[in-house]
Amino acid sequence: MQFFGGSEISPSPPAPTVSGNNAHMVYVFNRNGVCLLYREWNRPLHTLNAQQDHKLIAERGNLGVPQLPGQGCSFHSFRTNTYKLSFMETPSGIKIILVTHPRTGDLRDSLKYIYNLYVDYVMKNPLYRPGSPIRSDLFITTLDQYVRSIA
């Protein structure tokens, strides 16, 4: 299990869970860019150390490239030859990013479902302090199960 918060905590290597090989990683950021959750299932290559990785991904989320001026819009996914990154931002500023196999279909509904899991297991937990790393076992387990099921 791997939990990250801010850039001061140095990560220990995550223990990958056995899973279907479609999903690679998931990140959850809050509106300040703090990484609340990072889960990894299948990541043979680590180009960057964890802090750089998170910063890059958080910046990604901030782009929401406004190509057509006057219409604020944000992207929901991009695809390269080796992976597909799906992104969702909620009105409260929570950003969910899922990195999967390139031939995955539209994952917007999955991201919405993951957000609902977050609401149910994390936000509704009275002991959870918003903005702190997510330590809810129930959330992690359910998330793992769900991601494996869509793989």
Partner 1 sequence: MAAIYSLYIINKSGGLIFYKDYGSAGRMDTNDSLRVASLWHSMHAISQQLSPITGCYGIELLEADTFDLHCFQSLTGTKFFVVSEPGTQQMENLLKVIYELYTDYVLKNPFYEMEMPIRCELFDINLSQVVQKDRVALLGR
* Residues found near partner 1 in the complex (CB under 8 A): 24-25, 42-45, 47-48, 53, 56-57, 59-60, 63, 65, 67-71, 73-83, 85, 99
Q: DSSP secondary structure string, 91-118? A: TTS-EEEEEE-TT----HHHHHHHHHHH
> Strand, coil or helix: what is 61?
helix
> Least distance in Å: CB of 116 to partner 1?
21
> Least distance in Å: CB of 145 to partner 1?
21
> Least distance in Å: CB of 128 to partner 1?
28
70 vs 126, beta carbon nearer partner 1: 70
Distance of CA 73 to the CA centre of its chain: 20
CA dist list (Å): 121 to 33, 92, 136? 21, 17, 7
90 vs 125, beta carbon nearer partner 1: 90
57 vs 143, beta carbon nearer partner 1: 57
72 vs 126, beta carbon nearer partner 1: 72
The residue written with tokens 């300040």 in the block is 32
> Least distance in Å: CB of 43 to partner 1?
4
CB 114 within 8 Å of CB 146: yes
